[in-house]
Structure 1
């Protein structure tokens, strides 16, 4: 059920909040529990009290500078290789350099506590999810600004965002459950939509036990598609429970399914298994990706691409319908949250370490200390 929060008292000028400030690229020592000014919402913005914030690969990758072309390893290896480095890579963020120091956090469930000049005061008190992928030049452009990577995010007690990026949600989920949705499910819904998946589609989902992968399984099944989930043996029963029709280990997918046996591959793992994923696709099939936790550099035989008439789709900028659709799925009970574990905000390093162990299914969530002021 939603958390019942007492009303906030108005803040004095210069009131501060608790936040995790990422001071630069590097290891966990770059995550500092800090007191910083509460943001003041500008015209067209709202101030949101953060009730729960999700943990994602993107925050770890951004801190490490993993998006730099100089990095050739997967997320876990990069966490070991890059953790001792403190220099900021000029191309290490979502959009060139990351603007350190930065409050990270792409996933936010919160409630609106103030509006900027001329804003809609009736929205104060509403529980909302914030759309993390902001299309700053409209949906005709692929330019994006990401919450927690390009602008201050949800690893704090408060965050200011454009009013149109805060979506009211009416459901009986807890704050922590809602915080599992924005980044993982938005990314998943965007890929599923772009791939054009229908009830006739046979779809391979790699990393099916992770935050994005488990969301993809649910969203494909919601459309009536046939899901082949790829997961480690220890997690396969839980992936089946999500609705996957078949669950396999990554190394056995090609031998078990056979070449040219599926319509779509949704793959956020990549790495050395990329060629096998393309081999699985039927002629005219579609490969979709928004990540590469197993390694960003892959081997591509161009003959496989053009002789099989494959379509490769990269998905970062979300389409306009993605987030409103997710809100409707939640409110109609068509998807369910996968909350793996909750941590206090100041235990973010422990949460990220455990996250990288990949022993969980679903999402981790951080809970900020309760705020008395805004």
Structure 2
């Protein structure tokens, strides 16, 4: 099969607005020992793409510093964490049987080789990603999903959004019969949380607004709460016995509605990074605040099992060609959509 010598890609050479996304003709990367070369079938967009491009992650002790996910980025950088495609070449020491297989790439760069390793870097940030026709990845991080009934577009939506959601659900120890509250339910992670929590047998309450409410209900939420109305009042009506797990922001007003031993799992800062709450509601009720950055290798393996069996149905909000990456990111930033935005090289 093989690959050509050059490819189309979209890179950033500095932090800034959508205008720093530059189409380029670059050399196709060569898979090193232990790596594979993947022809990109689809790449999904994430808030991480916007924050990385803007340098919005801050640094310890300096929250306003321009920074990538885990520190300074090496420019120029090809963005894009979420890739589905086919293996077209393998590096030294890699089983040639992977060639031709349909795969999803785990974009995390881990702090170790164990099953519970933590992500300390991300494809598209700490190494080149999938805003391109081809991308390399460690062979240990590509998962064969040839048998999955999902399309490449759907598979590409899984790594960051569904990986983050599954990490939240696992770290929050959500079990069958419990009640989970999903805030920001119309986004990629929100829809993923709803679908995975439903598959787990939990009761799902979701917060959304306006025209998105119907789509969030269609995604599987048992009850959709209107952000424009009194949230605590709606929660008390929908779950008088309280909430077991909160997935997302809203801590101040929702913390008193957690059950004894309830868990609040945070995986982002879209609602702002400066949060105030009454710490007495935390310790008097044995509640927990849990930070959750993406997923572990174990979590990602569980996610790929769901994908092979087709037990989740990702929602595609829009599709763009690769050369419209700036427009695709602007669409993502407007937050008018439900589900995931994908690009097809």
Post-superposition offset of 1:261: 1.5
Superposed CA RMSD: 1.7
Aligned: 1:255 with 2:233: yes
1:125 to 81, 84, 100: 100
CA distance in structure 2 between the partners assigned to 1:148 and 1:58 by the alignment: 9
Q: Give the match for residue 60 of structure 1.
A: 50
Q: Deviations over 1:111-150 (max 9, x none)?
A: 1010001221111111100001232412355352211111
CA distance in structure 1 between the partners assigned to 2:71 and 2:254 by the alignment: 29
Aligned: 1:266 with 2:233: no
Post-superposition offset of 1:326: 1.4
SS in 1 for 2:26: strand
Alignment of 1:40-189 (within 5 A): 40-69=30-59, 70=62, 89=66, 92-139=67-114, 141-169=117-145, 170-189=147-166
CA distance in structure 2 between the partners assigned to 1:173 and 1:143 by the alignment: 26
CA distance in structure 2 between the partners assigned to 1:275 and 1:360 by the alignment: 27
SS in 1 for 2:232: helix
Q: Give the match for residue 325 of structure 1.
A: 302
Alignment of 1:143-292 (within 5 A): 143-169=119-145, 170-250=147-227, 251-258=229-236, 261-267=242-248, 270=249, 273-292=250-269
Post-superposition offset of 1:349: 0.9
Between stretches 249-258 and 106-115, larger displacement belongs to: 249-258
SS in 2 for 1:108: strand
Q: Give the match for residue 14 of structure 2.
A: 24
Q: Deviations over 1:318-371 (max 9, x none)?
A: 223211211211222211111111100110111111111111110000011xxx
Aligned residues: 337
Post-superposition offset of 1:155: 0.5
SS in 1 for 2:343: strand
TM-score (norm 1): 0.86
Unmatched 5+ stretches in structure 1: 1-7, 73-87, 369-374
